[in-house]
Structure 1
Amino acid sequence: MPERMVKVDDATLCVETFGDPADPAILLLGGAASAMDFWDTEFCRALADAGRHVVRYDNRDTGRSTNYPAGEPGYTGTTLVTDALGLLDALGIARAHLVGVSMGGGIAQQIGIEHPGRVASLTLIETSPAPARPDGADPLPPPEARIRALFGDPEPAPDWTDRSAAIDRVVRDLATFGGSVTLDDARARALATRVYDRTIDFAASQTNHWILEGGPGVRGGLGDITAPTLVLHGTEDPFFPLGHGEALAREIPGARFVPLPGVGHEYPPPQVWPIVVPAIIAVTGVDGVT
């Protein structure tokens, strides 16, 4: 279906759906500073063709959804959690399979812990434990040196109104976070161009999620998750190295862990869809058995 605008609390979110609304619903939860286009259309269609009703949307400050001045987000990280629940309400979906990447994986964990009745299953991709971890848990590995350098001494932002410079920067950032199995330059550039052209305020989209206040935190722990859970994690993730995914799978009761060879900190690239799509279809089955 074409994109549509949906009112959720004090925001308007841009939403697109695939497949039959009567099928089990999958809500795709995106990472920081990334519009819904990062969930590739063909990836969404593959899930829909397997009998799932797929929903992707632009978070606040991405794509066509409500945006705020760059550097002045009028919401917190908790708002992005309530937005996901409010969107399900607006679409008439009582219970959904949540598939979240990076920041979206943190949102999915929080909903799974605090609102278990809304969650049919969880798929956590390239993410890290969101709640406090058990006493004595092994420390999580730090980001790789290139990522620490990126955040420790960041490259000056381009003029985000300069279309060519902004697209070049996004392509470069995708390569920095990617693994040896990632989007080729042509596909990355096409994605960055599409995102730029449909984003209301690109400066806000590349700024505001990184400076959000977190809110009160998650009320519970990974051991409280009762939904069937699939953990997908790139073996070359430089931001949340593989140990983050292994910790999730170890600390969530009954979770299944599937490594993605060569993948970095990124949405699953097409090369690993033959692994990712069947795994998601399995965990989102009627009984949630992986």
Structure 2
Amino acid sequence: MQQYVETAPGVRLWTEQRGPADAPPLLLVMGAQASGIGWPEPFVDALAEHHRVIRYDHRDTGRSTWSFDTDPYPISALAEDVVALLDGLGIARAHLAGLSLGGMLGQLVLADHPERVASATLMGTNALSTRPYTAPDGTETPVEELPGIAPEILEFWARPVEDHGEEAELDRRVAHWRLLAGGRLPFDPEWYRDLERQIIAHTGTYTPPSAHSRADPDGLLRTEELAANRVPVQVVVAPAEPVFPPPHPHHLARCLNAVRVTEIPGMGHALPPAVQGPLAAAILAHTGATG
């Protein structure tokens, strides 16, 4: 079932729900510039066997309102959208799963509206905390000294995006996915190309979104609130993660008092077929254990 939900004045978000209407709700929160279609169909179907799964387009992606150029907003507004989306769908409390920026938005909801979250699974993200990372041997590392984003990805992001037609844009997106995938699993360019074709067809344009990279990122830290977290959190460790590589997941787990830390073999900053089954199983194990 598809429907639009108004989350702020003049802002409507496209949503899709799948699975039994009376099953526990599970909200999938995508990363920056990413449509909800980025959650692959088989992965959503696997989760929908046990949940009322909701995926949605952030504002300025997919079929949701594109308004940043005339009405700019901070990144934190995307977390407010999460709560307003639950309100609009009549959901008092949901399980959350967030990837990349979606993992940061999940942390903001955990910090500011913990009563709305039954459990959270966070992946491909960093902690919104200034708490240093403490290694198993007791060594402390300041947040600013934790590993950064892979240089080749930073270089890719710094390149200007030029319009040379849809096929060239697909080439660019596949090249981006090759970097994000991390290199430990075989890379199937046609799978990623097909995924991006679906996103373009859903959106109605091949023009890539850019609003989230321009939105104000200030005010996201929640050090004390996350330290007080009591919502059951699972942190996914992706050993090939090139954006927030280990030990970022372990740091996040400590900052949030996570009850589970689960490694998905070969996973990077992407959701190819090889990781979808193990990841869905990990999410279902967590939501099943936490009610």
Name the counterpart of 2:188.
184
Distance 1:221 1:100 in 2: 18
State how 1:230-245 maps to structure 2 within 5 Å: 230-245=234-249
State how 1:242-257 maps to structure 2 within 5 Å: 242-257=246-261
Q: 3-state DSSP class of the match of 1:80?
A: helix
Moved over 6 A (4+): none
Distance 2:153 2:171 in 1: 18
How far does residue 261 in structure 1 lie from its aligned partner after superposition? 2.1
Does structure 2 conserve the Cα–Cα contact (< 8 Å) formed by 1:232 and 1:259?
yes
How far does residue 147 in structure 1 lie from its aligned partner after superposition? 2.1
Render the CA deviation track for 1:194-252: whole Å, top value 9, x for unaligned. Answer: 1112225554x431111110243344343122111111121011111121111112222
Name the counterpart of 1:163.
166
State how 1:1-290 maps to structure 2 within 5 Å: 1=1, 3-10=2-9, 11-49=11-49, 51-68=50-67, 74-134=72-132, 137-138=141-142, 139-151=145-157, 154-159=158-163, 162-179=165-182, 180-181=184-185, 184-200=188-204, 202-203=206-207, 205-219=208-222, 220-266=224-270, 268-285=271-288, 287-288=289-290
Q: 3-state DSSP class of the match of 1:99?
A: strand
Unaligned 5+ runs, structure 2 = 134-139
Does structure 2 conserve the Cα–Cα contact (< 8 Å) formed by 1:119 and 1:227?
yes
- Aligned residue identity for 1:238: P
Distance 1:254 1:37 in 2: 28
Distance 2:124 2:249 in 1: 7
How far does residue 184 in structure 1 lie from its aligned partner after superposition? 1.3
Identity in percent: 34
Question: What's the TM-score, normalizing by structure 2?
Answer: 0.89
Question: What's the TM-score, normalizing by structure 1?
Answer: 0.89
How far does residue 73 in structure 1 lie from its aligned partner after superposition? 6.0
How far does residue 22 in structure 1 lie from its aligned partner after superposition? 1.1
Q: 3-state DSSP class of the match of 1:284?
A: helix
Does structure 1 conserve the Cα–Cα contact (< 8 Å) formed by 2:124 and 2:244?
yes
How far does residue 255 in structure 1 lie from its aligned partner after superposition? 2.8
Q: Call closer, same or farther: CA 1:259–1:191 in 2, change over 3 Å.
A: same
Does structure 2 conserve the Cα–Cα contact (< 8 Å) formed by 1:12 and 1:65?
yes
- Aligned residue identity for 1:68: S
| RMSD, matched Cα | 2.1
Distance 1:37 1:182 in 2: 22
Q: 3-state DSSP class of the match of 1:242?
A: coil
Distance 2:196 2:178 in 1: 12
Q: Call closer, same or farther: CA 1:182–1:53 in 2, change over 3 Å.
A: farther
- Aligned residue identity for 1:208: A
Q: Call closer, same or farther: CA 1:36–1:235 in 2, change over 3 Å.
A: same
Q: 3-state DSSP class of the match of 2:247?
A: helix
Unaligned 5+ runs, structure 1 = none
Does structure 1 conserve the Cα–Cα contact (< 8 Å) formed by 2:4 and 2:15?
yes
- Aligned residue identity for 1:214: P
The number of residue pairs the alignment matches comes to: 280
Does structure 1 conserve the Cα–Cα contact (< 8 Å) formed by 2:266 and 2:275?
no
- Aligned residue identity for 2:247: G
Distance 1:188 1:176 in 2: 12
Distance 1:183 1:24 in 2: 34
Higher deviation after alignment, 215-224 or 53-62:
215-224
Higher deviation after alignment, 270-279 or 113-122:
270-279
Render the CA deviation track for 1:117-165: whole Å, top value 9, x for unaligned. Answer: 00100100111102332596543211222123334xx2221217x2222
Q: 3-state DSSP class of the match of 2:126?
A: coil
Distance 2:20 2:242 in 1: 37
Does structure 2 conserve the Cα–Cα contact (< 8 Å) formed by 1:73 and 1:208?
no
Does structure 2 conserve the Cα–Cα contact (< 8 Å) formed by 1:8 and 1:87?
yes
Does structure 1 conserve the Cα–Cα contact (< 8 Å) formed by 2:33 and 2:210?
yes
Does structure 2 conserve the Cα–Cα contact (< 8 Å) formed by 1:73 and 1:212?
no
Does structure 2 conserve the Cα–Cα contact (< 8 Å) formed by 1:67 and 1:200?
no
Does structure 2 conserve the Cα–Cα contact (< 8 Å) formed by 1:158 and 1:165?
no
Name the counterpart of 2:137.
none
